[in-house]
Structure 1
């Protein structure tokens, strides 16, 4: 394979963008392991008392990721996120105003490999979420597993990441004063295994938990489609039923996290590596679906709202796909 190296005369701005994307990839793939190793080394060193004190703090703070988290406006506004935004580039598209006196559940599609659009738009202020939607606080839901990792949990909560369990989502959307946005990557880890350029298949048909909670708490549902999310990485072929896919499904059932074997470009060359391609991402926030609070929703209530949600998501995609390079014959497929 011929390797295409990056030219030496790349502007500093572009190099900073690459560095920002690199630290983001590292934070997903290696930071948790480094934090865990640092905690273990600290516990085995002469500084074990620090590890002990942190362990006590961790015990006292255990439920925070399920109780709204602990966001940091300072960290969300770091300059590095602006370079991260410009790497792709990443844009947040608003279609209608949202009432800050209500709570919302954003259904984010597609999941992609590393949910770059969801992170950049809702865990940072790089694309101007607070300016576009004043009075609303976004919270991106993430697997509870990651909030058990020392130090790492505190860092990711600063961006607005919270646990994706039911109690966490209920806590957010039951706020009496409104103003909370829970961002749910509906397809989850399973959808990540099918994230590759051109993919328009979404795991939605059997994802109804967020629908039930929206009804129970009267939260407004908002479909969100991130055009370009699946264009960032290639994956090894893993069709349903293949040995690789069976292994991935098995690991996911055991660990709760997906193991997509993805690749794209490198830092100093464009032929291979784990850096995402420089492909534009346009995350479009659709119109809210009005939800009447139903404390004990029936199966029919859930199915009816689920059908309405899928219809709204389809309409959002069809309305905007021409703006972002998709052809008329390209349509969403729900599984």
Structure 2
């Protein structure tokens, strides 16, 4: 394989962008393991009392990830996130104003490999969420597994990440006074196994829990499509029914975490590595679907709203696809 090295005369700002993405990829792939190892090392050292005190804190703070989290405006406004945004770059696109008197459930599509658009737009202020949607506070839902890791849980909550546990989403959508947004990557970990350049397959057809949740709290539904999300990484060929895909699906069911075998570019060369490609991401926030509160919806009512949601999602995609580089003959595949 011929290796394409990065030129030496790259502007310093682009090198800073690469560094920002390196730390982001590291935080997804290895920071949790490092935090757990650090906790064990402290526990086994002469400073064991520090770990013991943290364990007591962890006990008292255990429910915070399902109670709205603990966001930090300082962390969300770190300069590093601006370099992270500019690496791709990531752009947040508003189609209509959203009334902060209401709570919203954003259905984020597609999941992608590492949800780069979801993180950049909803866990940082780099793309100007608070300016585009004044009065709204976004909460990106993440698998509960990660909130059990010492130290790591506290870091990710600073960006506005909360547990994807049903109790967590219910807490956000049930807050009085409105102004809160639960952002759900509807396709989940399973959809990440289909994320590769050109892919337009969404796993939404049989996912109706988020619809029922919105109805129970009267939270307005908003489809969000992140154009470019699947263009960031290649993935090892894993068609449904293959040995690799079967193992991935079994691991996902057992661990709750998908393990896509992805690759893209490196730090100093463009031929292989775990850094995403520099591909633009345009995250388009659609028109809200007004949802009346129904604490005990029937299956028929859920199915009806789910159908309306799919229609709005498809319309959002069709109206914007050519503007963001998708040929007119390409359409969503909803499974």
- Same-fold call, TM > 0.5? yes
Q: Hey, what does 2:248 align to over in structure 1?
A: 248
- Name the structure 2 match of 1:57: 57
Q: Aligned residue for 2:229? A: 229
Query: What residue number does 1:94 align with?
Result: 94
How do residues 21-170 of structure 1 correspond to structure 2 at under 5 angstroms? 21-170=21-170
| Separation in structure 1 between the aligned mates of residue 107 and residue 205 of structure 2, nearest angstrom | 13
In the aligned structure 1, how far is the partner of 2:241 from the partner of 2:298?
A: 35
Distance 1:172 1:55 in 2: 26
Distance 1:137 1:123 in 2: 10
Counterpart CA distance in 2 for 1:207 and 1:144 is: 19
Task: Give distance in 1, aligned partners of 2:125 and 2:19.
Answer: 18
CA drift at 1:271: 0.3
**Alignment map for 1:194-205 (pairs within 5 Å):** 194-205=194-205
> 1:35-71: CA deviations, max 9, x gaps?
0000000000000000000000000000000000000
Q: How far has the Cα of 1:284 moved from its partner?
A: 0.1
Q: Which runs of 4+ in 1 moved over 2 A?
A: none
Following TM superposition, by how much is the alpha carbon of 1:75 offset from its aligned partner in structure 2, in angstroms? 0.2
CA distance in 1, matches of 2:194, 2:322: 23
Q: Helix, strand or coil: the match of 2:2?
A: coil
Partner of residue 266, structure 2? 266
Q: What is the CA distance between 1:176 and its match in structure 2?
A: 1.3
> TM-score, with normalisation over the residues of structure 1?
1.00
**Alpha-carbon distance in 1 for matches of 2:295, 2:260:** 38
Q: Tell me what 2:314 maps to.
A: 314
In structure 2, distance between residues paired with 1:187 and 1:131:
28
Q: Does 1:329 align with 2:329?
A: yes
Q: Which runs of 5+ in 1 are unaligned?
A: none
Counterpart of 1:214? 214
**Cα-to-partner distance string for 1:51-101 (whole Å, 9 max, x where unaligned):** 000000000000000000000000000000000000000000000000001
Find the residue that maps to 2:138 and give its secondary structure.
Answer: strand
Report Cα offsets for 1:255-307 as digits up to 9, x if no partner. 00000000000000000000000000000000000001111000011000000
C-alpha distance after superposition, 1:193-249 (max 9, x if no partner): 000000001000111111001000000000000000000000000000000001101
What secondary structure is seen at the aligned counterpart in 1 of 2:199?
coil
Distance in structure 1 (CA, Å) of the matches to 2:289 and 2:219: 9
SS at match of 1:84: helix
Structure 1 CA distance for aligned equivalents of residues 58 and 208 of structure 2: 32
Question: What secondary structure is seen at the aligned counterpart in 2 of 1:92?
Answer: strand
TM (norm. structure 2) is 1.00
Query: Aligned partners of 1:183, 1:241: CA distance in 2, in Å?
Result: 31
* Cross-structure match for 1:182: 182
**C-alpha separation in 2, matches of 1:290 and 1:250:** 38
Whole-angstrom distance in 2 between the partners of 1:59 and 1:257: 24
Indicate the SS of the match to 1:288: coil
SS in 1 for 2:302: helix
